[in-house]
């Protein structure tokens, strides 16, 4: 893996050097096109048509822009290589040094006229835009497009006669174009065309950089959100697994009671000779086995439901309530003559316990926390109310508390989601009434069997 990274970094360095060398010799490969520009200037003079000057200017600006864009891209790739090597501190200083060496070598190797002012100005702007807008990307193609637009824009300034007093456009071809415009009395056309193309191309380059910068940031945000969503899903999976483990522990604990009964009765069977007693013991063992089977089915199958008494469900919940904190008082009120329920006993008991656990852990401004669990008849069947005197819930949060992952107590946010899911599986519904600093009331409505 390390060798592959070193090879990739070396490829950046070689690519940058090759681009710089190619940009030096690029004008020599385009001699025919440079001559065609001269012919267009000649045609403009012979035909008296300044349009040929515009065509020649466009072709000249394009060739200069390609050459300078390759130079700029080569510089950027070398800087990127140095950045991966962690061996540079001042990007601007290194850029200036590379440009200086580039111009010295190009003047020695190739006798090609350079427009120093416009090239330097456009190079500085490209480096500024790269530093400010492309700091988080290595998309060399977009950088090349942006730099080409900037260089192309600034080359149009060289053919403007109005800027000759600032020593712009002093090389052979731009000077010839401006001289021809004087002969044709079309300086105003060149001034207007040069400025119009400069402004439009420069704004296009800036827009390209801004749009790609915005796109890169959006992609980064999407990637970060995806990673966070992935982490959240993993966290939820772990929490759900922990919940399943806790339910399994509760189930195993509850299975001990019928197992102890079976074990005790089997011992009595081995020593008893009374047929009546043996029959009674067998019936009780069979009842314990049925109870175990019922509990396991409730745990394994969400849709497994059976007819049970309300008292049996509440007794099962009562057995799991932690009573370690003396500052918490829990009153359980069960009305008489309640109808039977047709529910999944284990999961429904776990849902009620989740509500009670929320009531237990919620902060309370009073000295003692008082929780009431009340079960009574209603038109729908029965209602199970859990009321506390905690700090309550804001109105805007009540609509969100059933969403998976949402929590007002910095917990996993799966408790009330699980509660709502279990209640709806058992054809019930749940309501929450809460006022800030006055407590919360959760009411479960379940149909009778």
Which CATH architecture group holds 243-305? Orthogonal Bundle (1.10)
Under CATH, what is the fold of the domain 308-447?
A: Heat Shock Protein 90 (3.30.565)
The region of weakest confidence among 100-109, 168-177, 352-361, 430-439 is: 100-109
What's the pLDDT tens digit per position in 209-245?
888 888 888 888 888 888 888 887 777 777 667 666 6
Rounded to two decimals, the pTM is 0.55
Three-state DSSP state, 436: coil
Give the closest residue to 140 by CA, choosing from 6, 16, 14, 17. 16
Determine the pLDDT at residue 257: 60
What's the pLDDT tens digit per position in 414-446?
567 778 888 888 888 888 888 887 788 888 888
What's the pLDDT tens digit per position in 91-121?
556 666 677 677 677 766 666 777 888 888 8
Q: Can you read off the two tokens belonging to residue 45? A: 């003079």
Determine the pLDDT at residue 151: 92
- Alpha-carbon dihedral 227, 231, 234, 235, rounded to 10 degrees: -160
| pLDDT grade for 155, boundaries at 50, 70 and 90 | very high
> What mean pLDDT comes out for the span 148-165?
92
> Under a CB-based contact definition with an 8 Å cutoff, are residues 387 and 372 in contact?
yes
Give the closest residue to 428 by CA, choosing from 442, 414, 407. 442
| pLDDT grade for 413, boundaries at 50, 70 and 90 | very low
Q: Can you read off the two tokens belonging to residue 353? A: 């316990």
- 2 has pLDDT over 60: no
Domain segments of the chain as ranges: 2-231, 243-305, 308-447
The sign of the CA dihedral 392, 446, 406, 327 is: positive
- 412 has pLDDT over 50: no
Determine the pLDDT at residue 33: 84
> Under a CB-based contact definition with an 8 Å cutoff, are residues 43 and 37 in contact?
no
Q: Which residue has the higher pLDDT, 158 or 77?
A: 158
- 157 has pLDDT over 90: yes
């Amino acid at each position: 893996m390390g060798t592959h990274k070193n090879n990739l970094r070396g490829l950046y360095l070689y690519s940058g050097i090759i681009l710089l060398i190619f940009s030096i010799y690029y004008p020599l490969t385009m001699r025919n096109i440079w001559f065609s520009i001269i012919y267009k200037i000649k045609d403009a003079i012979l035909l008296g048509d300044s349009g040929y000057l515009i065509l020649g200017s466009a072709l000249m600006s394009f060739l200069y822009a390609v050459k300078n864009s390759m130079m700029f891209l080569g510089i950027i790739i070398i800087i990127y290589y140095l950045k991966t090597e962690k061996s540079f501190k001042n990007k601007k200083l290194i850029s200036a040094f590379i440009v200086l060496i580039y111009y010295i070598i190009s003047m020695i190797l190739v006798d090609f006229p350079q427009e120093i002012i416009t090239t330097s100005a456009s190079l500085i702007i490209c480096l500024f835009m790269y530093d400010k807008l492309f700091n988080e990307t290595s998309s060399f193609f977009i950088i090349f497009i942006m730099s080409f637009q900037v260089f192309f824009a600034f080359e149009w300034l060289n053919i403007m006669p109005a800027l000759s007093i600032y020593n712009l456009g002093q090389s052979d071809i731009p000077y010839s174009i401006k001289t021809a415009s004087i002969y044709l009395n079309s300086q105003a056309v060149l001034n207007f065309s040069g400025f119009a193309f400069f402004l439009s191309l420069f704004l296009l380059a800036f827009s390209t950089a801004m749009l790609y910068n915005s796109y890169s940031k959006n992609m980064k945000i999407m990637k970060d959100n995806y990673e966070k969503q992935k982490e959240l899903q993993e966290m939820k999976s772990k929490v759900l697994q922990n919940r399943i483990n806790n339910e399994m522990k509760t189930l195993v604990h509850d299975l001990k009671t019928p197992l102890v009964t079976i074990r005790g009765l089997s011992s009595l069977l081995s020593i008893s000779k009374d047929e009546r007693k043996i029959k009674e013991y067998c019936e009780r063992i069979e009842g314990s086995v049925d109870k175990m089977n019922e509990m396991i089915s409730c745990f394994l199958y969400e849709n497994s439901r059976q007819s049970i008494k309300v008292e049996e469900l509440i007794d099962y919940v009562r057995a799991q309530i932690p009573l370690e904190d003396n500052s918490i008082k829990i009153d359980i009120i069960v009305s008489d003559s309640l109808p039977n329920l047709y529910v999944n006993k284990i999961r429904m008991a776990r849902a009620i316990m989740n509500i009670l656990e929320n009531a237990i852990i919620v902060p309370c401004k009073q000295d003692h926390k008082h929780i009431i669990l009340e079960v009574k008849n209603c038109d729908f069947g029965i209602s199970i109310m859990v009321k506390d005197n905690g700090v309550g819930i804001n109105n805007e949060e009540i609509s969100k508390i059933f969403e998976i992952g949402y929590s007002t107590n910095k917990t996993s946010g799966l408790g009330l989601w699980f509660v709502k899911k279990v209640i709806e599986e058992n054809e019930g519904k749940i309501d929450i009434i809460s006022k800030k600093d006055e407590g919360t009331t959760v009411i479960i409505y379940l149909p009778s069997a």
